[in-house]
Structure formats: C-alpha cells, structure tokens
Copies of this chain bind each other. A is one copy, B any other.
Amino acid sequence: MASYQLYTFWRSSAAYRVRVALALKGLTADQHTIDLDAGDQYGDAFRTINPLAAIPALIVPGHPPLTQSLAILEYLEETAPNPPLLPPDPLGRARVRSIAGGLAADLHPLLVPRVRAYLTTTGGFDRAALRAWQDHWFTTGLQGLEKRLATDAATGLYCHGDSVTIADILLMSLVVVMRALHISVSDIPTIDRIVGMCETQDAFARAAPLQQPGAPPA
C-alpha cells in the first residue's frame, strides 16, 4: 500500500508537478481523481479532505493535507532527499527556486481556470480576448525565462546543471498547459532543448496529463 494519498486531476498543472516529483523519487501514492470540470472540488466529500477545495492535496497518513505544489515539492525534498531536486549549494538552490517561483508565481496564476472564468464572465472577455491574454503571458513569461537560461552559465542540460531540478518540473508543468491550449511560443531554443531532455525521462512521461485517469483520448 502506498503511504501517500494524492488528490489530483489529469489536466491540473499543479498536480502534474507532484506526480513528476513522486515518480522521480521513486515514491508512490494512491491517486484520487477530483474532477474539476464536474466541480468535485466543491463537494462535501472533498471539502472534508481539503476545506480549501484545491488540488493537489497530498495526505501523509495522520496529518492534515499538504497543499500548494511548491510546498509539497519542498516537503518531498526534505523527507525523501534522493535523488535531489535542488542543488546542494544555497546560491544554486536560490537560482532553482527563483526559476521555479517565476513560473509558479508570475506566469501560471494568470492562466488558471478561476481567472479564465472571471475574465470571460465579469471581465467581458470574448474568445479572442482570452486567447490574446493567454498568448501574451505565455510569450512574455517564456521568452523572459529563455533570455535568462540562454545567458547564464549555470544552465546545463537542464535549467540548472545537468540533472533535473524543481525548475524543470515547473517548466514542464507550464509546457503541458501550453500544449493543451494549442499555444506555441517562438524563439525559445534553450527551453525547447530542455523540454526535449525532460521528455526522455520516464517520470515526466508517466505524469503526463493524457496518461491520467479521466483524460480524454489522445
């Protein structure tokens, strides 16, 4: 029996991050699908598990749910340190956390369902305006990161050096959303190269949205 319980949804970028980290560390979790399209997150059953109605939620037996994907990744790093997903030196760790934080805090929040819902109802955005919004933030966000990665000697085969870190997990979690929205961003060769590297790893492949229960046929 797996010791963790993970509440997840096939399409969730934040849940994907936790699935990748668990797989990279060789950990398993019993996965429970919370269908965000059906509103399962607001149902009484899930509210008793996580009153905040948010996934991912990772349950360590006997404890309140862990929430927020980056906080969960840090927890896994502290409690299951091998293989490491952060470099050993504080400056390197700060760089990885900065890349990850930029994606998690500056780009992804603008693209989530609740923001999309506000913009297309109260905000009066039509389909084209929403698309322009998504295009704008993906383009500025990823081209900004490209500039950073391309000009920094600390970039290696992956975002930081030659092994996978939390920064790569965050990058890939945005790339899978971008693909689902059929958006492409040009002139990001370093990012494209790193994405290609991640795709060679089984942990990323297994965590992919279309591989999850409840996903539509590819």
Q: What residue in chain B is nearest A129 (Cβ atoms)? A: B123
Please classify the interface of chain A as helix (H, G, I), strand (E, B), loop, or mixed, using the class held by over half of its residues.
helix
Cβ of A181 under 8 Å from chain B: no
Interface contacts beyond A79-B90, A110-B115, A123-B133: sample of 6 additional A-B pairs, CB < 8 Å, sorted by A: A51-B151, A75-B90, A75-B93, A110-B110, A123-B125, A124-B129
Q: Are B105 and A70 interface neighbours, CB within 8 A?
A: yes
- Minimum CB–CB distance for A115 against chain B, Å: 7
Q: Are A74 and B52 interface neighbours, CB within 8 A?
A: no
Complex: A67 Cα to B96 Cα, angstroms = 10
> A residues touching B (Cβ–Cβ < 8 Å)?
51-52, 60, 63-64, 66-72, 74-75, 78-79, 90-91, 93-95, 97-98, 100-102, 104-106, 108-110, 115, 118-119, 122-125, 129, 132-133, 136, 144, 147-148, 151-152, 154
Beyond A105-B109, A110-B115, A115-B110, whether A74 also contacts B94 by CB under 8 A is yes
Complex: A102 Cα to B68 Cα, angstroms = 7
By a CB distance below 8 angstroms, the chain B residues around A105 are 68, 70, 104-105, 108-109
Complex: A78 Cα to B75 Cα, angstroms = 15
By a CB distance below 8 angstroms, the chain B residues around A72 are 94, 98
Q: List 25 A-B contacts (CB under 8 A).
A: A51-B148, A51-B151, A52-B144, A60-B91, A63-B91, A66-B95, A68-B98, A68-B102, A71-B95, A71-B97, A74-B93, A75-B90, A75-B93, A79-B90, A101-B104, A104-B105, A106-B109, A109-B110, A110-B110, A110-B115, A122-B132, A122-B133, A123-B123, A123-B129, A124-B129
By a CB distance below 8 angstroms, the chain B residues around A132 are 122
Among B66, B106, B133, the residue within 8 A (CB) of A118 is B133
Complex: A97 Cα to B98 Cα, angstroms = 15
Q: What residue in chain B is nearest A94 (Cβ atoms)? A: B75
Q: Are A66 and B98 interface neighbours, CB within 8 A?
A: yes
